[in-house]
Amino acid sequence: MKATIHQSTLEVVQGDITQQDTEAIGNAANSALAGGGGVDGAIHRAGGPTLMSELRAKYKGCPTGSAVITTGGNLKSKYVIHAVGPRYSGSPKDPELLASAYRKSLELCSQNKISSVAFPSISTGIYGYPVEEASRIALKTIADYLKDHPEIKLVRFVLFDSRTYDVYENALKELTKSE
């Protein structure tokens, strides 16, 4: 499903984020930038050892709600944006930290002249963020950013399973009704 937000496209698809041909892909990283399971592990396996070498050389971790950028290694994408979302606790800070992880990722896109990026559903795997709430936060944050940043032409959410895809598709329909 696709929606137009000002001059940009926001879409949700089901698939494998490591196979995307966008200029950058987002990674659901941990604050130690140490690699891990789920999306993080899949991206590191597909991208090869270059990703970890670059992370270790350039960064000493990344705080929750922020993001850092590396090259894409063996991936089709030229860049990987490693975003650290919150572990869900039910705290009032959780939504802002999740929104901030996406916003900081998009700021890195703008700063690096990246016009297309694919994101996973950050924090909804092992970090336990409820997908329904996370999808609304993610899509609204992206849509708000795109309104003032036409240099980003495409933001794609790549969801691994049909349940998560369905939730994001419904959230995008709701968002576009209210726009």
Number of domains in the chain: 1
Question: What's the one-letter identity of residue 132?
Answer: E
The model's pTM is 0.96
Q: Which domain holds residue 106?
A: 2-178
Identify the band that residue 35 occupies on the pLDDT scale cut at 50, 70 and 90. Answer: confident
Q: Which two tokens stand for residue 46?
A: 């597909």
DSSP annotation of 154: E
SS3 128: coil
> Which pLDDT score is estimated for 36?
84
Q: Which of 21, 40, 144, 148 is the catalytic position?
A: 40
Amino acid 179: pLDDT:
61
Q: Tell me the mean pLDDT in the region 16-40.
A: 95
- Residue 115, classified by CB atoms within 10 Å of its CB into exposed (0-12), middle (13-18) or buried (19+), is middle
**pLDDT(178) > 80:** no
Q: How confident is the model at residue 133 (pLDDT cuts 50, 70, 90)?
A: very high
166 given a catalytic annotation: no
CA dihedral 47, 97, 3, 156 (to 10 degrees): 0
- Identify the residue with better confidence: 23 or 36: 23
Contacts of 163 (CB under 8 A, 6+ apart): 131
The predicted-structure confidence for 43-72, as pLDDT tens digits, reads as follows 999 999 999 999 999 999 999 999 999 999
Roughly how many angstroms between the first and final C-alpha of the chain, as a whole number?
A: 16
CATH number reported for the structural domain that contains residue 102 in this entry:
3.40.220.10
User: Would you say the C-alpha torsion 166, 137, 3, 43 has a positive or negative sign?
Assistant: negative
Percent of the chain with pLDDT strictly greater than 90: 95
Strands 67-71 and 116-119: unpaired
- pLDDT classification of 2: cutoffs 50, 70, 90: very high
The residue among 108, 163, 147 whose CA lies nearest residue 10 is 147
Per the document, the length of the chain is 179
